[in-house]
Amino acid sequence: MFNLVLTTLAIALTALVTVGTMVNLNPEMGVRRTTTETVATSYRSFEGAVSAYRISNGGSVPPASNPPVPYSSGTGEPWGSLAPYMSGSRAAGGGAGNLVAVTGLDWTYATDGAGKAYICLSNANGGAVPPAVRQGVSAAVGKTSGAILGRTCGGTASADAASSTDASPYAATFYVQAGG
């Protein structure tokens, strides 16, 4: 009888460890979670920088270049104007510091026709975006008021953007809630 109980416990423990390991070692879960946190934190940092900029500049929004300059370039507007307001600014050459890179995507800043500022995370460069990254960005959009998941920066929402193919147009637009 003792051997039967011991064998049953061993099988149950093995099953528990196996199932637990499969769930916790799924690499896509980590990518999704990390992407969601990265995007949300970057957006909050940017929103804070825009608020500080507006307080210091009589309510005006940071200048936007046309066409928008990708954050990864490290130069141009608004990155130069916002650098003093973003914590962790790049040591060499200035530029905003807390917009963390996301695989296959780049940050850009623009204003819409009404002058409302937004920041956009997109694959405008035509790069592939892994499904787990798309899901992570989608989760961040779902948790952010005024955010839109679509095909173009500042465009309309697109229900199939999160599940589309890796290199198809993809953009997450986050309107800055700091007025304007």
Q: What is the pLDDT of residues 95-154, one digit of tens each?
A: 445 677 788 888 888 888 787 888 888 887 677 788 888 889 989 998 888 888 887 887
pTM (predicted TM-score)? 0.71
Whole-number pLDDT of residue 71: 77
- Asked whether residue 8 is assigned to any structural domain, the reply reads no
- Asked whether residue 43 is assigned to any structural domain, the reply reads yes
- Asked whether residue 16 is assigned to any structural domain, the reply reads no
- Asked whether residue 1 is assigned to any structural domain, the reply reads no
Q: Given pLDDT bands bounded at 50, 70 and 90, which one contains residue 94?
A: very low
Whole-number pLDDT of residue 159: 66
Whole-number pLDDT of residue 22: 58
Whole-number pLDDT of residue 19: 65
Domain count, the chain: 1
- Asked whether residue 153 is assigned to any structural domain, the reply reads yes
- Asked whether residue 17 is assigned to any structural domain, the reply reads no
- Asked whether residue 136 is assigned to any structural domain, the reply reads yes
SS (HEC) of the chain: CHHHHHHHHHHHHHHHHHHHHHHHCCHHHHHHHHHHHHHHHHHHHHHHHHHHHHHHCCCCCCCCCCCCCCHHHCCCCCHHHHHHHCCCCCCCCCCCCCCCCECCEEEEEEECCCCCEEEEEECCCCCCCCHHHHHHHHHHHHCCCCEEEECCCCCCECCCCCCCCCCCCCEEEEECCCCC
Q: Which domain holds residue 119?
A: 27-175
Segment 8-42, tens digit of pLDDT: 877 888 877 776 655 566 778 888 899 999 888 88
Whole-number pLDDT of residue 87: 63
Segment 37-92, tens digit of pLDDT: 988 888 888 888 888 888 999 988 888 777 777 777 666 667 777 777 876 544 33
Whole-number pLDDT of residue 178: 53
